[in-house]
Chain A
């Protein structure tokens, strides 16, 4: 059964810092992993999707990596800004590939 864990649960940093959010999963046979952003009271915005054949994906200041052998993914945010404050969720497919299983998220607060 796929389980997804995210650490830390919460993170507060000053503006400008580079930071890493961690995600681990139990089923290493996953074929992709997706990172989302959720702002308070809002829906989910897809940030990055990494296929199992890829080791990382980049979008602007965001870089996500995937290491299937260790069951880990990281989301790297460079030069953090107050606008990055949100909850970041990682999700991978369940073993049947019929739904996404989410971690509980990391709530990021970037102060100016």
Chain B
């Protein structure tokens, strides 16, 4: 299946831990993104990578570090997790930086709960 896939789907961890979320797309898209959906269900851009190059870093704490080993993968590593990091994190991709032709495709999300 062609898709954007994220792992894990659920992640429960204690404050202070370090965790990673992985994302892979087999759509051949050039650009990948991480979005955060907070408790009020509002989706906000965190990072954007185009061909492994960072394009956007939207006032995200430096405890969050994206890594793109190739244009099909964009992983999110979070250090020293805090209660406020609890949210659903969505990975997405688009054909080119602007998503003009085919729009954006989203993964199914990773629900992170920090206890």
Q: How many chain B residues have a CB neighbour from A under 8 Å?
A: 26
Instruction: Judge whether A100 and B45 touch: CB under 8 Å.
Output: yes
A102, B90: Cα distance in complex, Å:
13
Interface residue ranges, A against B (CB under 8 Å):
31-32, 34, 36, 38, 41-44, 46, 49, 51, 87, 89, 91, 93-94, 97-102, 104-105
Instruction: Judge whether B109 and A42 touch: CB under 8 Å.
Output: yes
Interface residue ranges, B against A (CB under 8 Å):
33, 40-45, 48, 55-56, 58, 90, 92, 97-100, 102-109, 111
A residues in contact with B92, CB < 8 Å: 100
Instruction: Judge whether A98 and B43 touch: CB under 8 Å.
Output: no
Partner pick for B98 among A31, A49, A102, CB 8 A cutoff:
A31
Could you show 28 A-B contacts with beta carbons less than 8 Å apart?
A: A31-B98, A31-B100, A32-B100, A34-B99, A34-B103, A41-B111, A42-B108, A42-B109, A43-B106, A44-B90, A44-B106, A46-B105, A46-B106, A49-B102, A51-B100, A87-B41, A89-B43, A94-B45, A98-B56, A99-B33, A99-B45, A99-B48, A99-B58, A100-B33, A100-B92, A100-B99, A102-B44, A104-B40
